[in-house]
Amino acid sequence: MTDRPPMSPAPPAPGRLRRWWHARRTGSRTRHLLERHLALALVLSLVGAGTLLVSYRAADRAAYELRTASEPAVVDVASTRLALLRSYDEAYDSVDSGLAPVVDAGEEYRAQWAVAFQGHARLARNQIDGSRGRAIIEPLYGLMGAYAQSVNLATTRQVDSTRADELLRRQRLREAHYVLQRPVTGMVSRLDLLQTNQLEKVEADVSFGPGRYAGWAVAELALVALFVTVLSALRVLRRRCGRRYEPSLVAALLLTAALAVLPLWAAVVTHHRLDDSYQSLRALATDAVSASPRVEDAQQTLADRIPRVHAGLADDGRPPWVYYSFLTGGVLICVLPVAGCVRRLNADYWRAAG
């Protein structure tokens, strides 16, 4: 019996070959597609979360600075200005009424001057105009000394009252008035300039300027792109891998939508409140200059306004837990899309390839 040569295996049927090749190509394309989704989601989540947190923090910081630094500085300038003007009015009334030689006739002047001196000391520490503000405040100390000396000579009782000549007293008052009201370099002019500069800085701090618009635009665009990327990854998993949903990607999708809306809404509300508070501060400063012809009435108006302004500023900021909630959300939108894509890639492709 003749031995037959061994038979070679039959080639695969054309239908099976096509199915095998299609599955291999489809799996490779799906893996690369998911890897691209993974890389894109990582970049977009980092950009979106980073710019979102920086932009929201800027709005929150502006509210804090307005409440703790700007409002006290503006109020100090207004109260110091009014106290100086009131001190001169009291000294003038004392001399004009002929009570200057009487013991303790100038006590009200001294009380107002003490208020002005304390306000100047606070401004030297707390003014918000930087080096430009210091250049305005530092000469005030010498001017206040010259002013106090002139008024004291006009109002203090002399040992021999007959030598306290009326003309000399009025001359001293004119000198004090000149130091107080001299254009450009007088005490009132310097305080008005400082107040103008401070209000300009407050306006710049609370305004929704181009830089903040750009930050929020980048954050929102990145979050919208991240939302689309995660949605696309879910669609790929459903159509090509038979997965109806991936929990990590669904959670990332919902969290991205929330972060695209809530922090922006909170920042817009905060900026509207800051603008209202700035208008209140400007009105307070304006009233200190021209609200009443009598300085005493203007001081009372200022005293009535300060609690209302302070209460409004207390409502501008948001509690710290709001920022930390957004921070936690920002971390999660960076982690969840990566975790979802890596989990599916590792289970369906990377482990099999290894």
**Tens digits of residue pLDDT in 214-252:** 999 999 999 999 999 999 988 888 876 666 678 888 999
**Higher pLDDT among residues 127 and 96, named by residue:** 127
- For 129-182, how does the pLDDT look when each residue is reduced to its tens digit (9 = 90+)? 888 888 888 888 889 889 888 888 877 765 455 554 677 778 888 888 899 989
- Predicted local distance difference test score (pLDDT) of residue 1: 42
- For 293-324, how does the pLDDT look when each residue is reduced to its tens digit (9 = 90+)? 678 888 888 888 888 888 777 766 677 888 89
Whose structure tokens read 């809404």?
Answer: 265
Q: What is the pTM of this model?
A: 0.77
Question: Cα separation of 288 and 173, whole Å?
Answer: 23
**Higher pLDDT among residues 18 and 50, named by residue:** 50
Question: Cα separation of 171 and 191, whole Å?
Answer: 25
CA dihedral sign, ordered 132, 66, 206, 310:
negative
- By the 10 Å C-beta count (0-12 exposed, 13-18 middle, 19+ buried), 311 is classed as exposed
Q: How far is CA 17 from CA 23, 30, 205, 235, in A?
A: 10, 20, 69, 28
- Predicted local distance difference test score (pLDDT) of residue 52: 93
CB of 195 within 8 A of CB of 74? yes
**Higher pLDDT among residues 104 and 35, named by residue:** 35
CB of 193 within 8 A of CB of 136? yes
The domain limits of the chain are: 41-202+209-353
Q: Within a 13 Å sphere around the CA of 143, how many CA atoms are in the beta-carbon half?
A: 22
CB of 140 within 8 A of CB of 107? no
Question: Cα separation of 189 and 207, whole Å?
Answer: 27
Question: Which alpha helices (H) appear in 66-129, and where do they start and end?
Answer: 71-96, 107-126
Task: Report residue 46 as tokens.
Answer: 């980092």
- For 76-118, how does the pLDDT look when each residue is reduced to its tens digit (9 = 90+)? 999 999 999 888 888 888 777 665 555 455 577 888 888 888 9
